[in-house]
């Protein structure tokens, strides 16, 4: 799973050592999800073995060191624009030094509090550090988990509605087209600045060797993608100040590389939305004309299947894309919604010690003599909780810090994502184990290794493990009922704080997105590629600032635009 995920998301220029680091970090994180069910089984059968203990230590401490030391250093190294390995390492260490100093100060402050508040403390500094790290993940992870528990089932259900999904895609296409236009201009500006800096620099300039490296990098970029045409490059007042010293040259190199990565990331995102929208249009058209075509799927992207099995393949594709896929999405949304409800119920009833309403606890205790059933009953909800947490993590990250784009995710973004993923795997597992009440209240080896937060960090208050899930339950219910969105809309001026959701784009078709989509289809029919002519079109929409009211009027306007003849 790690290898397939890396191959799908990693960009073409990600070096092997970054792929290995990210892959091993993800592997250690996911292995925790695999080890928890096995740990539950060995606890039930009262035979802890050295194998589980060894793998716990290997996975946890590998993840810990990678997250807090190795990955930040490599991330800073990859982000640096310096020209030698030594200088890039120095830049990375200098960048992370403030973070390490702040972390050390917080750890020292916590250690002093621990000594003052718990005089008979015997847990050790290691146990205290693990408990604090787990507490951070539990508190922040609870909000991430709550958002995912609500939004994943709702999102899958919404996407099963073809009309609603087409509306969302027109909005996304319009937005990503403008983002692609901005990224194109930034990349063009970076190219113009690099070329102008190179032209004004003499061959005997001491910085010329660094400029030659940048020139070779730029030449490789342009050869790699001959279809890219720089447009709109402009020089600002301070854009010719990069040739003053080695550091400014490193900044120029970093800027050029970053602009390129952002352009291709936006381009990949735009192409994915366009292809999905065109595929959805084909699906709707085939469903509406299924009787006329003899229940054969006709695609606008490829010719009809030939041969003896061609007709059968076309019929199978129509059944899958037009009928089964839609119903399976609805079924999956219902199943995941039920699992979300079961998790919320288990979290809400974790406080009463005499009542066990956790479905997962009941299932595990009911089949506790069957190893396979015990591990399946533990693995499925734990995996789903991780998916919900990581879904929210990626949503927030795409708005603020990083992006995860198919086949165009840069080294820096991959390392940031793997660091965040590794920080939340142990707390999620710890949270899940709190939902399981084994006979005799036995503690798994994982719980013993993580440390008891109530004992190790007393200033959080007794019973913290049982109180914080109630906060998450309330938060999840508020998210599910759109409480926060309603409050923000009521306040009016606070809409800037609203978390963008796909449901916000289902009021009507975006006219500019519809026109861009039809233009792309027309281009494909004439043999062009997706995103080949989107830049001038998006720029025209950006300048004209098209805006229509949502609702039926917007849908009618968009429909009229679709029916209009396209003019080149």
| pLDDT tens by residue, 491-515 | 765 554 455 566 555 568 889 999 9
Q: Helix, strand, or coil here: 140?
A: helix
Q: What is the pLDDT of residues 469-489, one digit of tens each?
A: 888 888 888 888 888 777 777
Whether pTM > 0.85 for this model: the answer is: no
pLDDT tens, 159-179? Answer: 999 999 999 999 999 999 999
Based on the domain organization, do 410 and 515 belong to the same domain? no
Residue 556: predicted pLDDT = 42
Q: Determine which of 34-48, 158-172, 265-279, 537-551 has the lowest per-residue pLDDT on average.
A: 537-551
Q: Is residue 35 part of a domain?
A: yes
Number of residues in the chain: 568
Which token pair is 70? 């190795």
One domain, residues 493 and 516: no
> What pLDDT score was predicted for residue 549?
38
Confidence bin at 557 (pLDDT 50/70/90): very low
Q: Which of 478, 502, 526 is the last residue of a domain?
A: 502
What percent of the chain has pLDDT above 70?
80
Do the domain assignments include residue 70? yes
Instruction: Decide if 395 is inside a domain.
Output: yes
Q: 85 exposed, middle or buried (CB, 10 Å; 0-12, 13-18, 19+)?
A: exposed
Average pLDDT over residues 102-121: 69
| Mean pLDDT across 425-437 | 85
Predicted local distance difference test score (pLDDT) of residue 187: 93
What pLDDT shows up at residue 552? 40
Residue 281 maps to a domain = no
pLDDT of res. 546: 41
Same domain, 489 and 513: no
pLDDT grade for 527, boundaries at 50, 70 and 90 = confident
Query: Do 346 and 484 have their domain in common?
Result: yes
Query: How many other C-beta atoms can be found within 10 angstroms of the C-beta atom of residue 286?
Result: 20
Q: How far is it, in rounded angstroms, from Cα 373 to Cα 364? A: 8
Contact of 192 with 531, CB cutoff 8 Å: no
Q: Please tell me whether residues 322 and 412 are part of one structural domain.
A: yes
Shared domain check, 525 and 446:
no
pLDDT mean across residues, the chain: 82
* Same domain, yes or no: 435 and 511: no
Q: Which of 475, 502, 529 is the last residue of a domain?
A: 502
406 and 434: one domain? yes
Query: Does 532 share its domain with 462?
Result: no
Q: Tell me whether residue 67 is in a domain.
A: yes
pLDDT at 386: 92
Model pLDDT, residue 515: 92
Query: Is pLDDT larger for residue 126 or for residue 427?
Result: 427
Q: What is the dihedral of CA 19, 219, 81, 397, to 10 degrees?
A: -50
Mean pLDDT computed over 146-164: 93
For residue 156, tell me if it sits in a domain. Answer: yes
> What domain count does the chain have?
2
**For helices 411-434 and 371-400, what crossing angle results, to 10°?**
140
Q: How confident is the model at residue 213 (pLDDT cuts 50, 70, 90)?
A: very high
Residue 492 lies in a domain: yes
Q: What is the pLDDT of residue 59?
A: 86
Mean predicted confidence (pLDDT) in 256-273: 93
Instruction: Provide the pLDDT for residue 232.
Output: 67
Q: 545: domain range?
A: 507-563
Question: Integer distance in angstroms from the first to the last C-alpha of the chain?
Answer: 45
- Tens digits of residue pLDDT in 5-47: 999 999 888 999 999 999 999 998 888 888 999 999 888 888 7
Q: Does residue 134 share a domain with residue 42?
A: yes
Does residue 236 form part of some domain? no
Which of 473, 502, 531 marks a domain boundary?
A: 502
Within this chain, do residues 497 and 522 fall inside the same structural domain, yes or no?
A: no
> What string of DSSP letters covers 472-512?
HHHHHHHHHTTHHHHHHHHHSTTGGGPPP-GGGG-SS--HH
Are 154 and 168 contacting, i.e. CB atoms less than 8 angstroms apart?
no
Q: Would you say 538 and 180 are in contact if contact means Cβ atoms under 8 Å apart?
A: yes
Tokens representing residue 358 in the block: 């956790």
Encode pLDDT of 395-406 as tens digits. Answer: 877 666 678 888
Give the tens place of pLDDT for each residue, 284-321: 999 999 888 888 898 887 777 787 788 888 899 999 99
Q: Do 329 and 313 share a domain, yes or no?
A: yes
């Amino acid at each position: 799973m790690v290898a397939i995920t890396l191959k799908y998301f990693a960009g073409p220029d990600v070096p092997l050592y970054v792929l290995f680091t990210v892959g091993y970090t993800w592997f250690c994180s996911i292995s925790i999800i695999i080890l928890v069910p096995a740990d539950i089984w060995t606890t039930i059968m009262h035979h802890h073995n050295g194998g589980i203990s060894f793998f716990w230590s290997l996975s946890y401490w590998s993840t810990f060191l990678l997250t807090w030391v190795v990955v930040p250093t490599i991330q800073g190294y990859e982000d640096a624009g310096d020209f030698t390995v030594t200088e890039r390492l120095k830049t990375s260490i200098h960048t992370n030094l403030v973070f390490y100093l702040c972390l050390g100060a917080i750890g020292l402050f916590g250690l002093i509090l621990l000594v003052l508040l718990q005089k008979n403390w015997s847990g050790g500094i290691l146990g205290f550090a693990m408990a604090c790290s787990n507490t951070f993940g539990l508190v922040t992870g609870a909000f991430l988990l709550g958002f995912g528990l609500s939004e994943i089932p709702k999102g899958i259900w919404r996407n099963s509605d073809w009309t609603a999904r087409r509306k969302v895609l027109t909005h996304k296409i319009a937005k990503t087209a403008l983002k692609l236009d901005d990224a194109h201009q930034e990349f063009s500006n970076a190219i113009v600045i690099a070329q102008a800096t190179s032209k004004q620099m003499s061959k005997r300039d001491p910085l010329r060797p660094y400029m030659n490296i940048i020139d070779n990098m730029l030449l490789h970029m342009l050869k790699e993608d001959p279809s890219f045409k720089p447009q709109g490059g402009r020089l600002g007042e301070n854009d010719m100040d990069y040739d003053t010293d080695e550091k400014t040259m490193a900044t120029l190199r970093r800027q050029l590389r970053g602009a390129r990565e952002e352009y291709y990331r936006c381009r990949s995102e735009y192409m994915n939305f366009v292809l999905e929208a065109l595929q959805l249009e084909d699906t709707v058209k085939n469903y509406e004309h299924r009787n006329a075509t003899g229940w054969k799927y006709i695609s606008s992207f490829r010719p009809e299947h030939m041969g003896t099995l061609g007709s059968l393949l076309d019929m199978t594709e129509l059944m899958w894309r037009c009928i089964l896929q839609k119903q399976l999405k609805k079924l999956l949304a219902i199943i995941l919604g039920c699992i979300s409800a079961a998790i919320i119920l288990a979290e809400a009833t974790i406080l009463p010690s005499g009542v066990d309403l956790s479905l997962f606890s009941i299932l595990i205790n009911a089949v506790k003599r069957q190893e396979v059933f015990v591990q399946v009953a533990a693995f499925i909800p734990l995996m789903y909780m991780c998916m919900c947490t990581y879904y929210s993590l990626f949503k927030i990250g795409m708005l603020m810090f990083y992006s995860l784009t198919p086949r165009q995710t840069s080294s820096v973004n991959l390392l940031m994502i793997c660091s965040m993923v590794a920080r939340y795997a142990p707390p999620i597992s710890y949270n899940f184990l709190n939902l399981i009440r084994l006979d005799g209240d036995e503690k798994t080896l994982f719980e013993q290794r993580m440390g008891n937060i109530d004992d190790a960090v007393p200033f959080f208050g007794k019973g913290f493990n049982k109180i914080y899930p109630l906060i998450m339950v309330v938060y999840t219910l508020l998210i599910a009922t759109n409480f926060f969105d309603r409050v923000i809309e009521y306040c009016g001026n606070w809409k800037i704080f609203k978390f963008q959701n796909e449901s916000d784009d289902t009021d009507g078709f975006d006219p500019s997105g519809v026109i861009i989509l039809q233009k792309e289809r027309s281009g494909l029919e004439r043999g062009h590629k997706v995103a080949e002519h989107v830049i001038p079109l998006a720029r025209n929409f950006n300048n004209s600032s098209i805006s229509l009211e949502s609702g039926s009027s917007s849908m009618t306007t968009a429909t009229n635009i679709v029916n209009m003849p396209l003019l080149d």
